[in-house]
Chain A
C-alpha cells in the first residue's frame, strides 16, 4: 500500500509539473525553481510534513522536498540560536543531497565521455 501511495502522490506532483511546462511554456529551470519555492511555502504552513507522513517517498523524492528540508533545517537551528540560526541551519538537512550531487556529478563527468 505504501508503494502505491508513493507512486500516486509522486506521480501527481510530476503531472502538475508537466501541465505547467506544457501550458505556460516555461523552461525546466523555471519549473524546478518554482517547485522548490512551493515546497518551502508549504512547509512554512506546516503542510509538507503531513504530506510526507502520508506519502513517504512520494513526497520526499520530488524536488519540492528540497525546499521543505531547507526551511526545516533553518527553523530547527533558529530554536537554539535565534534569527542567526536561520542562516546557520539552511543547508543542515540537505547536505547529503547537495554533497552527493556534487561528488557523483564530478566523478561521472571525470570518468565518462558524453554520448551525444
Chain B
C-alpha cells in the first residue's frame, strides 16, 4: 500500500522537528549487530563441530542438530526473560540468526498464554514468525519452478 501523501503543513512539521529528534546511532548499532550476530554464529560453529566430533555427523548433516540446539537455547532464554534484553542491545544481530526465529515463536506463544493453551499459545505461535515461513515457501516454490523449467530446456 502506498504511503499517504503529506499535506504541506505536515511536510513542514516533519522538516522542522528533524533537528530536534534523537539521531539513530547507525555506526554503533551496526557494530553491536555485527558482534552479537557474529558471536551467535561462532557458538553455532562450536555446536556443529561438537556434533561432528562426537555424534558421527558430517559437515553437511550437522546443520540440522545445530539449528535445533540453537532454537532450544533461544526458546529457553526467551522463557527466562533474557532474549528481549539481548535483542534491545544487538538489534538485527539477534533477529537475523535462527535464534531470532525461535524467539519470535516463543515470545508470541508466551504472550498469549493467559488466553489458554489452544486459542492462546497454539494459535499465536506463528503470529510473528509465520511471515518468514510464508515468504520462504513461496519464494522457494517460484524459484524452484523457474530452475526446473530452465533445466528442462537446457
Interface residues of A (CB under 8 A from B): 2-3, 6-15, 17-23, 28-29, 31-37, 39-41, 43-44, 56-58, 60-67, 69-71, 73-75, 78, 82-83, 86-87, 90-91, 93-94, 96-98, 100-102, 104-116
Contact = CB atoms under 8 A, between A and B. Distances in A.
B119 interface: no
A62 B144 contact: no
A109 B70 CA distance: 17
Contacts of A8: 38
Contacts of B35: 11
Interface residues of B, number: 79
B96 A63 contact: yes
Contacts of A61: 40-41, 44, 66-67, 70, 97-99
Interface of B: 24, 26, 29-42, 44-49, 59, 63-68, 70-72, 75-76, 78-81, 90-93, 95-102, 104-106, 109-111, 113, 117, 121-122, 125, 128-129, 131-137, 139-141, 143-148
A86 B146 CA distance: 11
A66 B101 contact: yes
Nearest to A100: B68
B137 A62 contact: no
Contacts of B90: 14
A26 B135 CA distance: 16
Given A57-B44, A63-B98, A101-B102, A21 B139 contact: no
Contact of A11 (B37, B46, B106): B37
